[in-house]
Amino acid sequence: MQRLYYELRDRAMRYDFRPGARINEKQLGEQFGVARATLREALNRLAAEGLLEFVLNKGFYRKAISVDEVFDLYQVRIALERRAVMLAIQRASDADIASVKGFWIDVMKQSAAMSTGDMVLADEEFHRRLIALSHNKEIMSFMDIVTRRIHVARHVDIEQLSSWNLTSFDAHMNVIDFIALRKTEEALQTLTDHIDMSLKRAIEITREMVARFFLVEASASLQAADRSSKAEKVTA
């Protein structure tokens, strides 16, 4: 069950399920060799996390790409991470903070040889470790859900490696250094500026993704119409 959930979650995060499209439960059940009840349990879990939508008497659908949703998710991210940083300054030990800093230093040393996917995972892992410094499991749990729902935008962003990304990665070091110095105001401001920049990039990327899927759908519709037209001419 857990393996099935992770596989379906990864597909949803990558938009292998087309936005707005109905999930073919019969096909998936046959592909994974699982009963419908088992498949439904995994799909319901993804719906609860906001990756899928369930429509009564119709089934499950991949949620459409929404600029407003991405904006809202980043607002939640800012609120959760700011609170986590405040708690980290109060609760985290010097050794724990140094461990997070050491992790990111190692990532930066290896970054030139890392794939985009690995870099995305490393970036997400840094933020996960940063939030773990708060010693608040509920914040960590909610952030895991938010992270999964903005994963694709972050992947595209890091794939388009630029000076912005390098500035973003530098912000990680600045935040952890301010936490180590127990400088709350500076840490919060650096974190907020960092996520605000991420938000702007995520909005741009989401708009590009919406346009891309629209063009693909429009092209497919035109090709289908063209095939239909040719078939009618042959019949005539």
Q: In this structure, what token pair is assigned to residue 103?
A: 């992790």
Q: Is residue 56 part of a domain?
A: yes
Q: In this structure, what token pair is assigned to residue 23?
A: 């999930």
Would you say residue 55 has pLDDT above 50?
yes
Give the count of domains, the chain. 2
Q: Which amino acid is at 233?
A: K
- Range of the structural domain that residue 49 is part of: 2-64
CB 81 within 8 A of CB 195: yes
Q: Is residue 215 part of a domain?
A: no
Q: Is residue 125 part of a domain?
A: yes
Q: Is residue 171 part of a domain?
A: yes
In this structure, the number of other CB atoms found within 10 A of the CB of residue 66 comes to 13
| Claim to verify: residue 81 and residue 29 sit in the same structural domain | no
Residues, the chain: 236
| Claim to verify: residue 53 and residue 127 sit in the same structural domain | no
CA 28 to each of CA 1, 10, 47, 57, 94: distance values in angstroms, whole numbers, following the listed order? 13, 14, 16, 18, 48
Q: Is residue 224 part of a domain?
A: no
**pLDDT tens, 114-127?**
877 788 788 889 99
pLDDT of residue 222: 42
| Claim to verify: residue 47 and residue 83 sit in the same structural domain | no
User: pTM of the predicted model, to two decimals?
Assistant: 0.70
Q: In this structure, what token pair is assigned to residue 172?
A: 């990680």
Q: Which is more confident, 20 or 171? A: 171
**pLDDT tens, 2-46?**
889 888 887 887 778 887 889 999 999 999 999 999 999 999 988
Q: Is residue 236 part of a domain?
A: no
| Claim to verify: residue 160 and residue 176 sit in the same structural domain | yes
| Claim to verify: residue 83 and residue 130 sit in the same structural domain | yes
Give the phi and the psi of residue 52 in degrees, each rounded to 5: -125, 165
CA atoms within 13 A on the CB side of 111: 18
CATH number of domain containing 19:
1.10.10.10
CA 192 to each of CA 81, 85, 166: distance values in angstroms, whole numbers, following the listed order? 9, 11, 17
In this structure, the number of other CB atoms found within 10 A of the CB of residue 212 comes to 12
| Claim to verify: residue 108 and residue 21 sit in the same structural domain | no
| Claim to verify: residue 30 and residue 127 sit in the same structural domain | no
| Claim to verify: residue 100 and residue 174 sit in the same structural domain | yes
Name all contacts of 98-102 with Cβ < 8 Å and 24+ positions apart.
98/180, 99/129, 100/126, 100/129, 100/130, 100/133, 100/176, 101/173, 101/176, 101/177, 101/180
CATH number of domain containing 141:
1.20.120.530
| Claim to verify: residue 160 and residue 101 sit in the same structural domain | yes
| Claim to verify: residue 15 and residue 104 sit in the same structural domain | no
